[in-house]
A and B are shown apart, each in its own frame.
Chain A
Amino acid sequence: MDPVLADRLQFAFTIMFHYLFPIGTMGMAPFVAAYTWKAARDFDEESARIARFLTKIFAINFAAGVVTGIPMEFQFGTNWAAFSRRSGAVVGQPLAMESMFAFFLESVFLGALLYRRRRLPSIFSAWAAVFVCVGSWLSGFFIVATNAWMQHPVGFSIAPDGTIRLENIWALLFSPFLRWQFAHVLTGALVAGGFVVAGVGAYYLLSRREESIGRRLVRAGTIVALVFSLIAIFPTGDDNGRDVTAYQPIKLAAMEGLFETTHGAPLAIIGMPDAAGDHLIDPVFVPDLLSFLAYGNFRANVQGLNAYARELWPPVELTYYAYHVMVGLGTIFVAVAVLAVLLLRFGLLWNSRWMLWILMLMMPFPYIANEAGWTTTEVGRQPWIIYGLMRTAHGPSPTVAAGETVFTLIGFAGMYFLLGVLFLYLVLREIGIGPQEI
């Protein structure tokens, strides 16, 4: 196998599997913190039950995130040594910040949150939950900071030997690309958190048990899902898209399946890109909309893929489909959340079993949308590992052969299969047991 492909497959597989868990951590942490606070402040038994129940699921999720996260931190060195050697002085900084400022916070305070002696959580536990939440969001921030730099490098210079030198860390942390990318990533996780909490609540209501808790979970979950699925589209998704337009026009063209440079470019709602034949097969277009979304002007000129040399194109099909899956699901999330919140507002939700079914079945889809969004970002960045600076093909470790990478990829696949089965089993089991008496 081509060594670069082997390394890319391994990274894609391990990061996509790993990322399932941070979505849950970032999305559920505020719920854990909120219920723990309420229980500690108001001595509310039911909130304490919810808090303990969510904390259990959170802890399983967190542990899976930690064990799958360790390889991520080190894969830069094991598989991408040339990339690390060249850019570590920059890329290493936000990763070091993540460990020092976020990981310690998360893990130390999660230990404190889980180690509980009294019936009701203390104010100390409530603070611990808040710190866990802050830690998980900070962790996300520094990771996205690393990625945003690879998407749009800033604050660096290039040494005579080609090494990339850090010039200004603040430029990296306040990069224009980072702001909206992080906001969008966090929003995506909160949409997932909202739908998971609502889905679990809907399950209890449908099974006619723990109905009081079920209603509270559905209410909180759907409201959070509604707010953040709207924010995911505007402003965070919109502005992130504008940054892509400004800094990575080829990626935009691939995302939208736009081959020819067009004044008043249409937005393709569906259609299958034929990269060899340079057109979309069987498309449905909304005229001029892409120009408006990208530039705020219906007649604006949008660069198509054909304006660039083919060797600079990202894999068009994957970028296009991943982006359309994300956007399509995002639209469905808004529709479902609006409907659920309307039913809730008019007191009809508890009797609308069909809606509760929909809410329960929604649970996996925010995960798919989050993964699809990252696939768009990362596949769309190709052929660059650092946009405009370093090709992905020049990144892998010179001393590691493709055969070794294939072996470790198989190993990771086996390990993650085991982990995935155990994770699902344990989480579903906890949901089956439900919030216990305290």
Chain B
Amino acid sequence: MRVSGNWIAVIISVVLALVLEFIRFPDLIANARPEWLTLVLVHWILRRPDIAGVGFGFVIGLALDVVSGSYFGIHTLALSLVSYLLVGMQKRVQLFPIPQQAFVVFFLVTLSLFIVYTFESLLSVPDNLISIFLQAFTSALIWPFFALLLDRISAWVR
């Protein structure tokens, strides 16, 4: 029962992040859009490392590939690597205070976007580099609130 409740929470959070990915922002702040799906991935690896790991990162990456219309595999590669790193340091990051966690989020989002940037510049036309840091920054900024929201959702489902 408990485990299935967790899966429902995971699915709800992924759907929520997908909806957020699709929301239209004004052009001015569109460059600084947080990476919602990456945040969901980080949250679940930190909270439930037993059900979310590199495989989950792969699935989230697949969703991002479809959402962004990039070649299949670019985001899966980036998020697999990110989740691999995070699984390695999960025990420590879990205990970090929130600001320090946000810093880790900044690092991870930057890394994933940079991998995506590298592959896109090899295969097609990439985003600009400044927007990578902007997006990582807003992701880190919104992380405490988003993590709180996801915690609320999982508490509510259970």
**A and B, one complex?**
no
Which residues of B are interface residues toward A (Cβ below 8 A)? none
Which residues of A are interface residues toward B (Cβ below 8 A)? none
